Amino acid sequence: MKKDQKVLSATSSGTPEKYSEHMAHEQGAVKSTSRRSFLGSAASAVAAATVVSTSSAIANPLEVQPSSKSMGRTTVPQGYGMPSKYEDHVTRNRTDVYVNKQNYSDWSMTPIQHQQGIITPNGLIFERHHAGIPDIDPDTHELVIHGMVRQPMRYTMDNLMRYPSVSKFHFMECSGNGLTDWLAVKSKTVQQTHGLLSCSQFTGVPLSWLLDEVGLESGAKWLLFEGADGSAHARSIPLDKALDDVMLVFASGGEMLRPENGYPLRAFIPGWEGNTSVKWLRRIKVSDQPWHLRSETARYTDPMPEGKFRQFSMEMECKSVITNPSGGMQMQGPGLYELQGFAWSGNGTVKAVDITTDGGRSWRTADLEGPVLDKCLTRFRYRWNWDGGPAKIASRAVDSTGYVQPTVAELAENRRIAGFVQHHNGIFPWAINTKGEVSNAIA
C-alpha cells in the first residue's frame, strides 16, 4: 500500500479484517503507529478504556527505540531544513485528469489531505503559471504605477520593503479548483479535487498607501495588474477592492515568496480567485474602465445558459471539504473517527460547518477550530462512530453573510455545467464502502 493511502491505517496491513484481528490481539497494548493520522489519537482514546482493565497483561512490550540509543545527525551550519525523509510522499502534484502537452502554462496542486493546520508550507502552495516560472533578481525588479494618476511612480524592492509592512492570514484558491469533478467522478484524491487551494500569512504593503502617493485622478475606477513573466499575465481589478484590502506582498509563511509564487513581488487580493493576485508584479495602470483581456473573456469566465459567459466573477464563494478521511484513503475498521476538513469564504468568515454521514439526509453541526479569520481557512472537526456499513460523508459551510454552501445541483440551476466550468464551490461527498475504502462520490 502506498504511503499516500495509508493515512487512515493503524498498521501497514491496513484492511478492516486485519484491523479486527489486530485489535483483538493487541488489547491493552495498542500501538498508535499512524504518524500522520488524527485517527491515531482517536484509536488510542478508544483503546485507553481497555488498557485500564488489562494493565497487567504483557503481550507486546515496548523496546527502547534505536533513536534513543545513538547520536543523531549534526546541525548543518548553513542549511535550510527539510521534512523528514519519511514524508517524501507529501508533494505538490499536477492533476492526472488533464494531461498538458507542455508544463509552462500549467498547474500543480497542494496535498491538503496532509495539511495539519490552516497554514500551507511554502513549498506546497499550489502553482498556476501561464509561461513558466521566472527567476527574477530582486535588485533588478521594479514596480511602476501610472495611468490616470497625478504622478507616476517607480518602486524598487528596497523601496517597497522600507515601508512599514503588514501581515494577514488568508486563503488563496484558483477559480479552477474542482474543475474536473462536477458531474462525473474524475479525480481520486482531495488533492486533485480541491488542491488548488492554499493558505498562509502574507506580508507586504497595502496598495492603498501607494495609490495615495501617486494620486488618483477623478474618474479612476479600474486598475491593471501586470506580471513580469513571459505571459505578462494581467487582470483588471476594480478600484474599490484595491482600496479595501489589496496588498503588494513579498513574503508568505515568514519568508520571502518562492519563485513559483511570485518572487520577489506579487499582488494579493484576499478572497478572490488566485489569478487576480498577479505574480511577479511589475506594473499597475489606473484607468476608468476594465481592459477585457483574454484572461477575463476567454479564460476565468463561467459558462452560463444560452451560450453566455459570466465575467469578472472574482470572489471565491463559501466552500468546505472533508480532507480526512478523503478519496483514496482506507478506514481502519468500525469505531470512532474524527472527520476533519477545511472551510473558507471569500466573502467573510466561516460561521458554521455541518456534516452529513448519510448522503445528505441529515446533518449535524461540526466544531470549528480557532482562529476563525476573515477570508482564511478554518479547520472543522466532527466525531463520528462508523458502524462499518456503506456511508456517504460531506461537509456544508455557512459564512458570515449567511450564504450556505450549495450542492452541484443547486449551482447547475443557474449555470451551464459544460466545458471549462469555474468556481465550483459545491458540497463534495466521499463514499465509504464496507471495506473501508474512501472514494470520490461527486456523482
The two beta strands, 335-344 and 127-129, are unpaired
Question: Considering only residues 32, 50, 258, 291, which one is a binding residue for another protein as defined by CB under 8 A?
Answer: 291
CB atoms near residue 443 (< 10 Å)? 11
Closer of 185 and 291 to another protein (Cβ): 291
Q: What angle do CA 293, 297, 300 make, to 5 degrees?
A: 105
> Site residues for another protein, window 350-409 (CB under 8 A)?
352, 354, 360-364, 396, 398, 403-407
89 vs 364, beta carbon nearer another protein: 364
* CB of 349 vs another protein, minimal distance in Å: 14
Nearest residue to 438 via CA among 382, 392, 384, 386: 392
Decide if residue 167 touches another protein (CB under 8 A): yes
Site string for another protein, 74-93 (x = CB under 8 A): --------------------
Cα–Cα dist 54/431, whole Å: 36
Give dist(CA 414, CA 427) in Å, integer.
16
**According to the binding rule CB under 8 A, does residue 245 interact with another protein?**
yes
Rounded CA-CA distance 18/12 in Å is 10
Closer of 192 and 275 to another protein (Cβ): 275
Identity of the residue, 378 or 405, whose beta carbon is nearer to another protein in the bound complex: 405
* Residue 224 in contact with another protein, rule: CB under 8 A: yes
Stretch that binds another protein, among 74-82, 110-118, 177-185, 284-292 (CB under 8 A): 284-292
- Interface mask toward another protein for 92-121; x: CB under 8 A: ---------xx-xx----------------
Q: Return the number of the residue (285 or 379) whose C-beta is nearest another protein.
A: 285
CA-CA distances (angstroms) from residue 364 to 355, 360, 367? Answer: 5, 10, 10
Nearest CA to 342 among 314, 372, 363, 315? 372
Grid coordinates representing 241?
477592492
Q: Least distance in Å: CB of 335 to another protein?
A: 25
Binding mask 173-212 for another protein (x = CB under 8 A): ---------------------------------x-xxxxx
Beta bridge partners of 384: 337
Instruction: Rank residues 287 and 439 by Cβ distance to another protein and give the closer one.
Output: 287
Largest CA distance in the chain: 82
Question: Cβ 176 to another protein, closest distance in Å?
Answer: 15
Q: Which is nearer to another protein, 86 or 420 (CB)?
A: 420
Among 88, 162, 367, 385, binds another protein (CB under 8 A): 162
Contacts by residues 135-142 (CB-CB < 8 Å, ≥ 24 positions apart): 135/259, 136/228, 136/259, 136/263, 136/264, 136/280, 138/263, 138/264, 141/228, 141/264, 141/265, 141/280, 141/282, 142/282
Q: Does 297 bind another protein (CB under 8 A)?
A: yes
Rule CB under 8 A: say whether 415 interacts with another protein: yes
From candidates 32, 91, 231, 439, binder to another protein by CB under 8 A: 231
Instruction: Decide if 205 contacts 245 (C-beta within 8 A).
Output: no
Choose which of 252, 262, 317, 421 interacts with another protein (CB under 8 A).
317
Under the binding rule (CB under 8 A), the answer on residue 213 touching another protein is: yes
Which residue's CB is nearer to another protein, number 50 or number 311?
Answer: 311
Candidates 29-37, 40-48, 258-266, 283-291: pick the segment binding another protein (CB under 8 A): 283-291
Which residue, 21 or 212, is less far from another protein as judged by CB? 212
Contacts of 101 (CB under 8 A, 6+ apart): none
Based on CB atoms, which residue is closest to another protein, 12 or 100? 100
> 267: closest CA among 236, 312, 308?
236
The residues, ordered by sequence, that sit 6+ positions from 185 with a Cβ below 8 Å of its Cβ are 439, 440, 441, 442, 443
Q: If binding is defined by CB under 8 A, does position 315 make contact with another protein?
A: yes
